[in-house]
Amino acid sequence: MNSAFRTVALVGRYQSEGVGETLAEIAAMLRSRGVHLLLESETADAIACSHAERATIDQIGARADLAVALGGDGTMLGLARSLACYQVPLVGINHGRLGFVTDIALTQWRGALASILDGEYDSEDRSLLTARVLRGEQEVWRQLAMNDVVVSRSSRAGMIELQVHVDGVYMYNQRADGLIVATPTGSTAYALSANGPILHPGLEGLVLVPVAPQALSNRPIALPDSARVAIRVVDGREPRVAGDMQVFSDLQIGDDIIVERAPFKAHFLHPAGYSYFATLRSKLNWHELPILSRP
């Protein structure tokens, strides 16, 4: 069979129970379509596939026309951060719990993936953030984030005080457990649990969401995604910064965390007919009517 993609990479959350068997089935299906299959090196170790070429993430970025991720949202976020600069389109098959960005259900992967390989799909671009930590004049940490950049206290410490500037203009000082800078993709992650708004992924914006602020009048605010957000650690014990809650760095008093839009976007492919609102209904249970108590 012909495919709209000539070289396809497969990456899986190989540590999870049951993933190896599904990865092998996906690999067999891709080979049957006549595509050249690249298996991410650690994924290849997990399924012991001798009929596919092993490849590093950088090799996948340089050579693949499409990358398929099997796992949860964390797997997809990590792959998006690694491949966005190469502009490799991504497809996510959910083998996790929630599946906001790995939107193909595990029970439906065969039909959905076949349609995408046939060229029948919807596509969208998702923004990413770059975060840098400046200690004086020295850059001590840099990270890409697809969901969010979070400056927070450790679990053993009290509130931290942060000073925020947007595009060089003073915004506020606040004491809180932390501050989230989220993309539209990340607005349904940690930011949502901190009472932030949902931003449609088609919006070019970002949102600042305080985590348990001392002043209850401190509310989330949406900003244009061209904004440069500078967060200074003014006070607090054991502050830290995280990208997508997966990559962490310890901070010191006086550190500046600079958050800006990344110069490239992640490119997602979905089965034809994909609806963001259907995802929200499913994942947030919007389709369920409230249960009314009887008098």
Q: Report yes or no: 159 and 176 within 8 Å, Cβ to Cβ.
A: yes
Q: Which residue has the tokens 């595509």?
A: 35
Which sign, positive or negative, has the C-alpha torsion 181, 184, 188, 194? positive
Locate the DSSP E strands across the chain.
7-12, 36-40, 53-55, 66-71, 90-94, 121-135, 138-145, 148-152, 160-166, 169-176, 178-182, 205-211, 221-224, 229-235, 240-243, 247-250, 256-271
Q: Report yes or no: 261 and 225 within 8 Å, Cβ to Cβ.
A: yes
Residue by residue, DSSP assigns 136-166 as TTEEEEEEEESSEEEEE--TTS--EEEEEEE
Q: Which residue has the tokens 């796992």?
A: 71
Helices 109-117 and 19-32, packing angle to 10 deg: 30
Residues involved in catalysis = 73
3-state secondary structure of 131: strand
- Of 41, 39, 30, 37, the residue nearest 2 (C-alpha): 30
